[in-house]
A and B are shown apart, each in its own frame.
Chain A
Amino acid sequence: MAAAMPLALLVLLLLGPGGWCLAEPPRDSLREELVITPLPSGDVAATFQFRTRWDSELQREGVSHYRLFPKALGQLISKYSLRELHLSFTQGFWRTRYWGPPFLQAPSVWINLGRSSVMSSQGSSAPLSTSSTPPTQSLPLPPSNPWVWPMTLTTTFCAMLCCRGRWSAPKTSPPGRSSCPVVPRASLISFHLLQAGLSVLLKADRLFHTSYHSQAVHIRPVCRNARCTSISWELRQTLSVVFDAFITGQGKKDWSLFRMFSRTLTEPCPLASESRVYVDITTYNQDNETLEVHPPPTTTYQDVILGTRKTYAIYDLLDTAMINNSRNLNIQLKWKRPPENEAPPVPFLHAQRYVSGYGLQKGELSTLLYNTHPYRAFPVLLLDTVPWYLRLYVHTLTITSKGKENKPSYIHYQPAQDRLQPHLLEMLIQLPANSVTKVSIQFERALLKWTEYTPDPNHGFYVSPSVLSALVPSMVAAKPVDWEESPLFNSLFPVSDGSNYFVRLYTEPLLVNLPTPDFSMPYNVICLTCTVVAVCYGSFYNLLTRTFHIEEPRTGGLAKRLANLIRRARGVPPL
């Protein structure tokens, strides 16, 4: 499967090259960016972002001419009056405890459609907030026909999206927004790529030797100007990969672009208005100069990212001096002193989820929420979508932290309907400082109809990850940034109000075995059982309910029978 996997989105990037030499200034622009972050565990994360912005009101103007914006998506937006679309495909699991909080957290497949507030240029519109523009018109969207969306997206992204049951909306999300938060197991095929600029580095055989691989499309309207009188459409295509330092570097933690991607950068993308590489050169300990970057960066950029102050070296590919010196750019990072084998810093919030118990009748879903902040407690919104075939016993829901019961301040539970909709459980839980909170709920495994089993029923059934949303206290105060000017990685969901920053985490998906019949010979079994039951039941019932008498040998003939008839008519017992 790994060989025939994604990158489908990036083909969309270069669909409409015509007309970029028109006289009038183009109304769309493309920015591309690569962020390279050495992770606390020693692995290296690379995040590509390609952002196309189009100053056009797709839904009002009858647009037929596409330049940088992919036509397939544009038509999707105008046909379904789409307000926002977030779609991500992920292979692997972001290990928050070892890698720290991610820029772009995504579960394995995450689709989010519908309306939410228009992103204002000044930033800071938290996905948590429920204040949204009231819906102006109803959309031809689920639940009226839940299959339209998966089908359309499937054809566009060459992906198999299969949502069992109805799509459900968490209560904390804006009204009118439908989301299928996670499809735990989707498969995706085929792509082709035109290569220039940063996308030179997207070489499939390297990207698929990584330990984490996530790509996403985000389409949303943004304000065209400060007063937000008109909107533009923004398409972001992102790709995050994590390179396994242990395999790639043979034990050494030094890395270079060539070592990671087996390519170097040679030229900027001719269509891009901005093409940059950011390298995280923040030193974690106080004594400086443990890292060395080659070639030395011309400029650096400092900002507060996810609660900590970070320093980035910037390499601008449009800066001709950068490429011309050596015809290619191979950024290298060396550790002057090899970092000690110390435990990596643990992020303030991380979580773990598992199924406990054994046997095929009952089980328990347990989620462990870790707050490692030494003195601050903070609330977490936990969202669980559990398929209907795990019948949750809500009265067994227990939340304990530090050995005491922890009462959630808000609970919303929507029970499942068989074959229609999953359980939806939402809770706002206060996590005490420096604690582990265990949320557990028991379930019973349902016996499905025998046609409802997947072709590989003994593999088990997936349960989608829980989603944790939290405002985590920052270490340092962040200052508001100009959204349009700041680097892309900082502005996808720019949520931070100075003292807190927003984190959304996904736990592991779970694999649960349901009681599974032996499918190898259902026909034989059914026939045999029915025959045995029919034969045995009839005769045993007969034997048990009857009393048997020996019949007297019949004497006399017609005369006696006649006599008996007469006797019966007279009411006298027969002979």
Chain B
Amino acid sequence: MGLLSDPVRRRALARLVLRLNAPLCVLSYVAGIAWFLALVFPPLTQRTYMSENAMGSTMVEEQFAGGDRARAFARDFAAHRKKSGALPVAWLERTMRSVGLEVYTQSFSRKLPFPDETHERYMVSGTNVYGILRAPRAASTESLVLTVPCGSDSTNSQAVGLLLALAAHFRGQIYWAKDIVFLVTEHDLLGTEAWLEAYHDVNVTGMQSSPLQGRAGAIQAAVALELSSDVVTSLDVAVEGLNGQLPNLDLLNLFQTFCQKGGLLCTLQGKPEDWTSLDGPLQGLQTLLLMVLRQASGRPHGSHGLFLRYRVEALTLRGINSFRQYKYDLVAVGKALEGMFRKLNHLLERLHQSFFLYLLPGLSRFVSIGLYMPAVGFLLLVLGLKALELWMQLHEAGMGLEEPGGAPGPSVPLPPSQGVGLASLVAPLLISQAMGLALYVLPVLGQHVATQHFPVAEAEAVVLTLLAIYAAGLALPHNTHRPLSYRVVSTQAPDRGWMALKLVALIYLALQLGCIALTNFSLGFLLATTMVPTAALAKPHGPRTLYAALLVLTSPAATLLGSLFLWRELQEAPLSLAEGWQLFLAALAQGVLEHHTYGALLFPLLSLGLYPCWLLFWNVLFWK
């Protein structure tokens, strides 16, 4: 601080920042990327460990042996489902009652804002069925949830069979201290959302549903199950929830311990873990990148993702069938689940001991928040350095007349020049924000108008309007400042206008990215990686076309497109350009839908926050 209060040294520091700005920025950016890539190596990545005392050892004896029963239930369920074409509610009720549960149903309906073409649904109505196993001599204050989402197309009947067989087994045990809710939801996530909202008696997304008749206190943890065949080769675990929320790491540790105990092959992002081989870190990086991409998308990857909003630690287990050398039947999966539930049953407090914010380069390795935040910190430093440089240049431009001989003057810029800078900023700021608002509101509002005038379906209309407004934003605001600035700005400092605008834009971007990185690191990091360099480069001189191309390539929409390609590349299923474009359009529609149906925040964040900010840089680039 003494450094800053001494004017002489302050000036030296300022000169340093000005002269070395470009190398410092490059260094900082490279350091950020390098830090992120280094996250998979041992000093930064650590082995996971169980923090919660109540779940410390795996000393429970799994006795589940209902494999045949599970298969029989699954067959019956599939048959009834085929017959009725929807969730066989009556059959489920009867079966759950016959295994001794307290059974309730809940009906719900939801009209989506526009037809969902991926899942082929528009007016959705369905019924959830759930049975409660009441713990003996407990007053229903706490509960655990085992849920199976049944979509219209998904073949999740094995999971329903296993759920029922587990319910039958659990019902015969006397050690339960928490109630267990066995939940089968229709229309996968929509049903889960309806049930959760009704359970907590809130209405977040405009779902219409009947009130719940039976409750079981505060839900402590939940496990969602998705199986597609009787035999699985590995169990994949999904942790990424709505808006990038993650469950407590201990829940994942619990799953991993029981995988090891039962000798199951467990995977994360579909990738088995192998740290012994030479390309272990490379594989870890692949898994880490996949997790970053999934978390950044902000969508719930499995129905567990919706539980996280209600502070219920949850994860999804998915049986996959791709590693031919391993084979496990339902008994093995059931035993792992039984072990997990018995351990969760021991919990005295909600899971809180371990990390809530982490990245996973593998199932047994994690990176804690303290170690990954510097990566995004370095990236944001670039914006700070650039803003500092602009601020100083603005000052010098303002002081230019008074201090020709380098005599020390007051370091406050002249009031009139500052006033000019701010006034000329109002119009571009307002216009870009208005564009963002239009981008957020118009596509869904104007879909009917669009379908009347153009030969497109509603969903297409929404996506195309979205793209049209996005593109229109590029053409609109870049010449609006002229009538305002021409009159006032003196000829001595023609650069002052865009510099002030860029300064504001830089600070705005840094603030936004900082906030995003705090809540959803992956999204913040991804956006920072792409947006920061071009944001730092943008200026109305030099190779403008190159800058414009770069800026377009790093706009939020282009980032989304690029992420899709990267995602498929990492999954070793590369996309062709046409496929990529189709996927991009579908992703746009899904993003808007998920905002309306589950309250995902990515769409408003991009349209109301980052897109206007990006437009400001576009504005800077075409400043005249």
- List residues of chain A with CB under 8 Å of any chain B CB: 2, 91-93, 95, 98, 108, 208-213, 244, 246-247, 251, 341, 352, 354-360, 364, 366, 456-460, 462, 508-513, 516, 520, 539-540, 542-543, 546, 548, 550
Do the beta carbons of A511 and B142 come within 8 Å of each other?
yes
Query: Given A246-B100, A511-B217, is A542 in contact with B1 using a C-beta cutoff of 8 Å?
Result: yes
Chain A residues within an 8 Å CB radius of B8: 550
Taken residue by residue from 132 to 143, chain B's Cβ proximity to chain A (1 for < 8 Å, 0 otherwise) reads as 001011111110
Separation of A366 and B171 alpha carbons in the complex (Å): 29
Chain B residues within an 8 Å CB radius of A358: 200, 202, 309-311
Shortest A290–chain B CB gap in Å is 20
B 323-368 contacts with A by CB, 8 A: 348-350, 352-353
Do the beta carbons of B137 and A341 come within 8 Å of each other?
no
Query: Given A356-B200, A358-B200, A539-B1, is A93 in contact with B350 using a C-beta cutoff of 8 Å?
Result: no
Do the beta carbons of A354 and B215 come within 8 Å of each other?
yes
Shortest A248–chain B CB gap in Å is 10
Residue of B nearest to A246 (CB): B100
Shortest A14–chain B CB gap in Å is 26
Do the beta carbons of A211 and B134 come within 8 Å of each other?
yes
- Per DSSP, are chain B's interface residues mostly helix, strand or loop, or mixed? loop
Chain B residues within an 8 Å CB radius of A210: 136-137
Residue B278 interfacial (CB < 8 Å): no
Do the beta carbons of A244 and B136 come within 8 Å of each other?
yes
Do the beta carbons of B217 and A508 come within 8 Å of each other?
yes
Contact among A208, A355, A364 for B218, CB-based, below 8 A: A355
Do the beta carbons of B5 and A508 come within 8 Å of each other?
no
Do the beta carbons of B137 and A208 come within 8 Å of each other?
yes
Separation of A513 and B352 alpha carbons in the complex (Å): 12
Query: Given A247-B172, A358-B311, A513-B311, is A92 in contact with B217 using a C-beta cutoff of 8 Å?
Result: no
Chain A residues within an 8 Å CB radius of B142: 511
- Interface residues contributed by chain B, number (CB under 8 Å): 36
Q: Could you list 25 A-B pairs, sorted by A, with CB under 8 Å?
A: A2-B137, A93-B140, A208-B137, A211-B136, A212-B137, A213-B137, A246-B171, A247-B172, A341-B94, A354-B217, A356-B200, A356-B202, A360-B311, A457-B349, A458-B349, A459-B349, A508-B217, A510-B141, A511-B141, A512-B218, A513-B311, A543-B1, A543-B4, A548-B7, A550-B7
Separation of A548 and B140 alpha carbons in the complex (Å): 67
Do the beta carbons of A91 and B137 come within 8 Å of each other?
yes
Do the beta carbons of B350 and A513 come within 8 Å of each other?
yes
Shortest A242–chain B CB gap in Å is 9
Do the beta carbons of A508 and B202 come within 8 Å of each other?
no
Taken residue by residue from 193 to 213, chain B's Cβ proximity to chain A (1 for < 8 Å, 0 otherwise) reads as 000000011100000000000
Chain B residues within an 8 Å CB radius of A456: 348-349
B 1-37 contacts with A by CB, 8 A: 1, 4-5, 7-8
Do the beta carbons of A508 and B309 come within 8 Å of each other?
no
Residue of B nearest to A465 (CB): B139
Chain A residues within an 8 Å CB radius of B5: 539, 542-543, 546, 548
Residue B471 interfacial (CB < 8 Å): no
Separation of A246 and B97 alpha carbons in the complex (Å): 11
Chain A residues within an 8 Å CB radius of B202: 356-358
Chain A residues within an 8 Å CB radius of B311: 358-360, 513
Residue B416 interfacial (CB < 8 Å): no
11 extra interface residue pairs, beta carbon distance < 8 Å, beyond A246-B172, A510-B218, A511-B218: A92-B136, A92-B139, A212-B137, A341-B97, A354-B201, A354-B215, A356-B201, A358-B311, A458-B349, A509-B139, A511-B142
Separation of A108 and B138 alpha carbons in the complex (Å): 10
Q: Taking each of A341, A352, A358, which has the highest tally of chain B beta carbons within 10 Å of its own beta carbon?
A: A358
Shortest A287–chain B CB gap in Å is 24
Separation of A539 and B1 alpha carbons in the complex (Å): 6
Shortest A518–chain B CB gap in Å is 8
Residue of A nearest to B217 (CB): A511
Residue of A nearest to B6 (CB): A548
Residue B408 interfacial (CB < 8 Å): yes
Residue B490 interfacial (CB < 8 Å): no
Separation of A509 and B141 alpha carbons in the complex (Å): 7
Separation of A502 and B5 alpha carbons in the complex (Å): 80
Do the beta carbons of A459 and B348 come within 8 Å of each other?
yes
8 pairs of A and B residues whose beta carbons are closest in the complex: A356-B201, A539-B1, A458-B349, A91-B137, A93-B139, A211-B136, A246-B100, A92-B137
Do the beta carbons of B201 and A364 come within 8 Å of each other?
yes
Do the beta carbons of B137 and A508 come within 8 Å of each other?
no
Residue B102 interfacial (CB < 8 Å): yes
Do the beta carbons of B141 and A98 come within 8 Å of each other?
no
B 104-163 contacts with A by CB, 8 A: 134, 136-142
Residue B57 interfacial (CB < 8 Å): no
Query: Given A542-B5, A546-B5, is A93 in contact with B201 using a C-beta cutoff of 8 Å?
Result: no
Separation of A359 and B312 alpha carbons in the complex (Å): 11
Shortest B476–chain A CB gap in Å is 39
Residue B174 interfacial (CB < 8 Å): yes
Contact among A355, A356, A357, A459 for B350, CB-based, below 8 A: A459
Separation of A460 and B172 alpha carbons in the complex (Å): 29
Chain A residues within an 8 Å CB radius of B100: 246, 251
Shortest A476–chain B CB gap in Å is 29
Residue B519 interfacial (CB < 8 Å): no
Residue of A nearest to B309 (CB): A358
Contact among A108, A251, A542 for B139, CB-based, below 8 A: A108
Chain B residues within an 8 Å CB radius of A548: 5, 7
Chain A residues within an 8 Å CB radius of B138: 91-93
Chain B residues within an 8 Å CB radius of A510: 141, 217-218
Shortest B524–chain A CB gap in Å is 23
Residue of B nearest to A5 (CB): B137
Shortest A520–chain B CB gap in Å is 8
Residue B98 interfacial (CB < 8 Å): yes
Shortest A177–chain B CB gap in Å is 26
Shortest B304–chain A CB gap in Å is 16
Residue of A nearest to B198 (CB): A356
B 214-263 contacts with A by CB, 8 A: 215, 217-218
Separation of A251 and B99 alpha carbons in the complex (Å): 9
Separation of A358 and B193 alpha carbons in the complex (Å): 14
Chain A residues within an 8 Å CB radius of B137: 2, 91-92, 208, 210-213
Residue of A nearest to B173 (CB): A247
Shortest A164–chain B CB gap in Å is 17
Separation of A2 and B174 alpha carbons in the complex (Å): 11
Chain A residues within an 8 Å CB radius of B136: 92, 209-212, 244
Separation of A356 and B102 alpha carbons in the complex (Å): 21
Do the beta carbons of B134 and A95 come within 8 Å of each other?
yes
